[in-house]
Amino acid sequence: QNEKELQNVVKRQEEKMLQLIDKSGEVTRLKGEVSQLKRSLQRAETEAKVLWEEMRGQEPKMDAAYVQERVLLRQEVDKLRLLLLEKEDENLLLSDKY
């Protein structure tokens, strides 16, 4: 009887572990979504920033290609900043792990 109870306890613990693993996977997926949404928001903010700067100080005739190039350059800078932050976070996690 004790053995049977022990098997039941082990079985419940295994089920709980599987549930935690499932939740962990979902958290990882949600973190990925949040990261993607942050990048999209950052891209939109970058475009708005560049357009605002150009509209604020420009003559009535504005070269669309110039503005587009500025947006792309700003996006690239923001993307590089984000990559740097991600690498710093990874390094922190690795140093904490070890």
pLDDT digits (tens, 9 = 90+) for 16-60: 888 887 777 777 788 888 888 888 888 888 888 877 777 777 665
Structure-token pair, residue 76: 């690239």
Stretch (H or E) spanning 34? helix 2-57
Give the pLDDT of residue 92: 79
Give the pLDDT of residue 69: 83
Residues 64-74: pLDDT tens digits? 777 788 888 88
Distance between CA atoms of 64 and 49, rounded to whole angstroms?
15
Q: What is the mean pLDDT of the chain?
A: 81
Polymer length in residues for the chain:
98
Model pTM score: 0.45
